[in-house]
Amino acid sequence: MSHAMPRRVPGDLAMWFFILAELAVFGLLFAACAYARWQQPLLFARQQAGLPLGWALANTALLLSGSAAVFNACRAYAAGRGRAGRRWLLACLLCGSGFVLLKGHELGALFAAGINLSSNSFWMFYLSLAGFHYLHVLLGMVIVTAVWWRAGQGAYAANHDGVETAAAYWHMVDLVWLVLFALLYTAR
């Protein structure tokens, strides 16, 4: 291609290595979960039927809105509109907080009902995957907060790599959620 786009990944390359490792861990856990499901179809079907799909959909909407917000933040910084970009980062944080509250409430209710990692194979995978993912949302929020704070100090006026790095991580967290949602809530 004669007028190819410059070949670079957005954000910091180190973050992409990190993302790759994260996806590999989740990939292995998904594979193990799929195998367990194949081994115990009745157990998985029965437990899955009792999951609150509405909440999960709300959580999906929150995370995807967060992704849209952080995407808009990147575009705003690329166009030199730093103030708008910072507002988008805040919007992403709000979406993340909504997820953390909703999901935290759900997980809390499960623990209160006496469900734990040793209850059965379904709950082991459900809690492991949901729990690890939850921690990743929290880390994503820490990263976006750090970027939001640095943005307030004018750190991304000339180079907004940091924003793209945070966005890449947030998208990864979303991507994992989509697979997790499909595998745990809707797969038949």
Partner 1 sequence: MTSLASAAGRQTTPSAANVQLKYRSQAVAKPYFTAAIGLFVGQIIFGLVMGLQYVIGDFLFPAIPFNVARMVHTNLLIVWLLFGFMGAGYYLIPEESERELHSPKLAIATFWVFLVAGALTIVGYLAVPYATLAQMTGNDLLPTMGREFLEQPTITKIGIVLVALSFLFNLSMTVLKGRKTSISMVMMLGLWGLAIFFLFSFYNPHNLVLDKYFWWWVVHLWVEGVWELIMGAMLAFVLVKVTGVDREVIEKWLYVIIAMTLITGIIGTGHHYFWIGTPAYWQVWGSAFSALEPIPFFMMTLFAFNMVNKRRREHPNKAAVLWALGTGVMSFLGAGVWGFLHTLAPVNYLTHGTQITASHGHMAFYGAYAMVVMTMISYAMPLMRGREANSNRAQVVEMWSFWLMTIAMVFITLFLTAAGILQVWMQRMGDTPLSFMATQDKLAFFYWLREGAGVVFFIGLLLYIISFFVGKDEAR
Nearer to partner 1, 124 or 179 (CB): 124
For tokens 């793209």, name the residue. Answer: 164
CB of 57 to partner 1, least distance (A): 27
As given in the structure block, the two tokens for residue 160 are 């907004």
Kindly list the residues in this chain that would bind partner 1 in the complex (CB under 8 A): 13-14, 17-18, 21-22, 24-25, 28-29, 32, 117-118, 124-125, 128
Residue among 97 and 128 whose Cβ is closer to partner 1: 128
The least CB distance from residue 58 to partner 1, in Å, is: 28
Q: How far is the CB of 177 from partner 1 (least distance, A)?
A: 18
34 close to 182: Cβ distance less than 8 angstroms: no
Nearer to partner 1, 15 or 89 (CB): 15
3-state secondary structure of 10: coil
Question: Which residue type does 168 have?
Answer: A
Minimum CB distance to partner 1 smaller for 33 or for 95: 33
The C-alpha atoms of residue 83 and residue 71 are separated, in whole angstroms, by: 15
Distances (CA, A) of 150 to 35, 54, 165: 44, 36, 13
Query: Measured between alpha carbons, how far is 60 from 56 in angstroms, rounded to an integer?
Result: 6
Q: How far is the CB of 143 from partner 1 (least distance, A)?
A: 13
